[in-house]
Amino acid sequence: MKSEARPGKSPKESAVEMTEIVLPSDTNALGSIFGGKIVSWIDIGAAIAASRHARRVVVTASIDALHFLAPVRVGHVVHLRAQVNFASRTSMEVGVRVDSENPLTGEWTHTATAYTTFVALDEKMKPTPIPEIVPQTSEEKRRFREAQKRRESRILLANELKKNGHGPKSS
C-alpha cells in the first residue's frame, strides 16, 4: 500500500476567532448562559478550524475535557479562539478557549476551555488523510505535546470501552 504524502501546516493556519453576544434567550433563570449554548459555539469554532486545516468536510468525533470556569452573564460578549493542536492521519484535536467580556467595564474573564476531535471526510464520506501539524512557537510545541498525551488517553479509553462491550457496534 502506497503511503500518502502529508505536507505539514502550522497551527496558526487553522486559527479561528469568533465573537458572540449573550442575549436573554441564551440564558437561564439566573441570567447566565446555558452551557449548551457555549458548547454549540465551541463546536462551530472548532469545526471551522478543523476544516481550515484539512481543507475538507469535517465531523465532530468528540468534545472532551470541557471545563466551565466562570459564569457568563446576559449582555456580555463571548470571545472564542480555536486552533488545531495536533493532527494524526485522519483526525485532529482542536483546542478552544472561551473568554467573556463585560462591555460596561471592559473586564475579560476566562470562562471555558475545551478539546475537540474532528475527522476529515472524503467525497464518499470516509475518513481521509490530512496534513500534519508542524508547531513553530514554544506555545504551539507545548500544545502539540499535550494534545499527543490527550490522544493517547482517548485511545486507551476507547479500547477499554470496546473491550467491555461499550464501544461502537460493528456491522
The whole-number pLDDT of residue 140 equals 96
Reported pTM? 0.89
- The Cα–Cα gap between 86 and 127 comes to 16
Q: What are phi and psi of 38, to 5 degrees?
A: -60, -45
Instruction: Assign 5 a pLDDT band (cuts: 50, 70, 90).
Output: low
Give burial (CB, 10 Å; 0-12/13-18/19+) of 117. buried
Give the mean model confidence (pLDDT) for residues 70-96. 97
Domain boundary assignment for the chain: 9-163
CATH number of 9-163: 3.10.129.10
